[in-house]
Amino acid sequence: MNSAFCFQRSALRFANTLKSATESHVSFLNLRIHNTENTQHQHQHQNHHLMSFLPRRRDFSANAAASSAITSSKSEDVSGPMLEPSVTNNGWFQTAATVGTVGLVAGSTAFVPANIAAFMHICVFGTWLGANIWNSFFVGITMFKNMPRQMFGKVQAKLFPMYFSLTTGCNAVLLASLCIAAGGMPANTQVAGILGLGLASSVMNWVHIEPLATKLMFQRYDLENLPGEKTDEVKEKIKALYKQFGMWHGISASLNLVILCCALSHGWYLGSSLNLTL
């Protein structure tokens, strides 16, 4: 009986031990499953973060490649074969075509020096008025709205001397052709006076006012582009140069308006003498 009791106690003790071991193993398995799930979740989060980052890397690489391509294409445009003019864009070809057209048309009429003078007068007047309107109302305004301020000023500094030399030359040819056709001073002194006023305004802008305004502008740019923080003295100099430039630029713009008014006035004079009934 004692043996049976001992066996029963041993069996009960073994069962309790087995139960404890089973519970420990189950807890261990649950812990491993939980850790595995956490690890998988972390990997998924890292992969999601990495995948969300990779497109940006690709976009950045694409943008860099596009920028490189644009830079390369710009360099090719500047130095490559794209700048080589075609046959029709060659200066000699354009000159020959112009002279040939004038000769063909002139051949259908009697050769009269007065006709040649009138033809030149009309062509020069169209160039004068067209250049003034194009520069005053299209080129300048478009560049001012779409270019950085200093770049706009530097481009205008290149264009203005050519523009004012062109208007001066046109004024001189118009006035000279009238005097030649009249054999001296034109009978209509008012027309000659208007052309003389336009010529004087063009010469003043070309020779004196535009160079002075451009000089002041570049002096201001030099101070604005100084490295580091501007001192009060530099700021005052910039303000003073800005005022001086504004004054001379205003005078130049006013004279350019006078030139435009003279061109329109002369156009009215030519229109009143023109007979459209051919």
18: pLDDT confidence band, cut at 50, 70 and 90? very low
232: pLDDT confidence band, cut at 50, 70 and 90? very high
- Span 29-43, average pLDDT: 49
Shortest CA distance to 163 belongs to which of 134, 124, 123, 200? 134
- Domain extents in the chain: 1-63, 112-272
- Span 69-94, average pLDDT: 56
Shortest CA distance to 120 belongs to which of 164, 173, 48? 173
Q: What is the pLDDT of residues 122-136, one digit of tens each?
A: 999 999 999 999 999
Give the end-to-end CA distance of the chain in Å, rounded to a whole number. Answer: 150
Q: What is the pLDDT of residues 154-184, one digit of tens each?
A: 999 999 999 999 999 999 999 988 887 777 7
| pTM, rounded to two decimals | 0.63
The CA-CA-CA angle for residues 202, 159, 102, to 5°, reads 75
Query: What pLDDT, on the 0 to 100 scale, is given for residue 180?
Result: 78
3-class SS of residue 184: coil
